Amino acid sequence: MNNLPEVFEDFSEARKQGFITIKNLKDGGKKVVGTFCTFTPWEVIHAAGAVPVSLCAKSDETIADAEKHLPRNLCPLIKSSYGFAITDKCPYFYFSDLIVGETTCDGKKKMYEYLGEIKEVHVMQLPQTYKGEDAYRLWRNEIIRLKEKLQKEFGVDVTKEELSQSIKLRNRERIALKEFYELGKMCPPPITGLEMLKVLNGASFKWDKDEEIRELKDLINRSKSEYQEGQRKVSPDAKRILITGCPMGEATEKIIKAIEENGGAVVCYENCTGIKEISKLVDETIDPIDALTEKYLNIGCSCMSPNDNRVNLLSELIDDYKVDGVIDVILQACHTYSVEAFNIKRFVNDKKKTAYMSIETDYSQTDIGQINTRIAAFIEML
């Protein structure tokens, strides 16, 4: 969008600009750790003196290459991740000294076996539930195992003090991001849903966290100032939409555009692209490993069964953001989110008395017309 303020453009371009930054960091002796998921504890990698970087996985650019090895009826995020790896089109994968995966789904687990033929891959074994002592103990051991792997690979000692400092830094970033996305609570919001997504996506490619926090605060202040001066980017009549479900990136911006071009405004993202990971802080008053275990184990992902945390967070967000409708975005062949959609629909319709629709899509642009028609009808119904 050409009318985005410069700081929005800066966040939007952060992933591309970061290619040079990562190369310079590598040339300066920094270690790089590639990650795929919000379950991977950022603080442990940072405390090891390495740079955590999110790998390319949200474009259809390399899916055709991936399908030479992987089935076509597989999640596009998995195919995209693998495709970028085998084609060497992801600079972040190229510069990674270690890849950290996690067993959030069967497709990823098997894909990691192939990635392991290209790079060193460490897989964290995630419990299938966040309830009970056994699940807690398993995940705590996995975080310790990651710490030990980083220490061995990079020849460092990750101390409690370094973990505590990383926790405090990451919490400061979460607070700034939370203050930013809570702009969506305003009626109408001072930013569009697309602007919000660009910042949330771009934030993970800002490795100077102090600078990122300053930029976020500047963005918040500027947005509020312009709003107070009477500038409005979103119509007060726009229907307020919450997006839930699978991760979103450039390829799924088609859904946001369809919402905002048909009289809706995306005010909140309840998924791991948005609020899900940053809604809760890590406890800074207890042992760092225990604090990280508790924090990351309780992310409300559909890979967990039962997934009460997702429902509880949705309930809060629907109220806090005065939501008119919920749109559940499900990537093709993402079975856990697809199966869970029935329960989410019942909850949103019956308990929250709010409209709900689900959209299954992939990273191609061939379904834009269909998506536009369905979303237009949904918003008109609201």
Residue 1 maps to a domain: no
Q: What is the CATH number of the domain that holds 57?
A: 3.40.50.11890
- State the Cα–Cα distance between residues 14 and 42, nearest whole angstrom: 18
**Distance from the first to the final alpha carbon of the chain:** 27
| β-bridge mates for residue 264, sequence order | 239
Residue 107 maps to a domain: yes
Q: Where are the alpha helices (DSSP H) in 193-348?
A: 193-203, 209-228, 253-260, 275-278, 288-297, 308-320, 335-346
Residue 379 maps to a domain: no
Residues of the chain under the 70 pLDDT cut = 1-9, 12
Of the candidates 277, 313, 300, the residue with the CA atom closest to the CA atom of residue 42 = 277
Residue 341 maps to a domain: no
Q: Which domain holds residue 43?
A: 6-159
- pLDDT for 18: 86
Strand-by-strand arrangement of the 50-54 sheet: 50-54, 31-35, 98-102, 121-124
Alpha carbon 203 to its chain's center: 10
* 366 secondary structure, DSSP code: T
Residue 370 maps to a domain: no
- pLDDT for 73: 96
DSSP code string of 177-219: HHHHHGGGGSSS-SS-HHHHHHHHHHHTT---HHHHHHHHHHH
Residue 301 maps to a domain: no
- pLDDT for 1: 36
pTM: 0.95
Of the candidates 168, 211, 174, 153, the residue with the CA atom closest to the CA atom of residue 33 = 153
- pLDDT for 7: 58
Supply angle C-alpha 20, 204, 120, rounded to 5.
70
Which tokens sit at 158?
A: 């990750």
Give 322-372 pLDDT, tens digit per residue.
Answer: 999 999 999 999 999 999 999 999 999 999 999 999 999 999 999 999 999
Residue 269 maps to a domain: no
Residue 227 maps to a domain: no
Tally of domains within the chain: 1
* 331 secondary structure, DSSP code: E
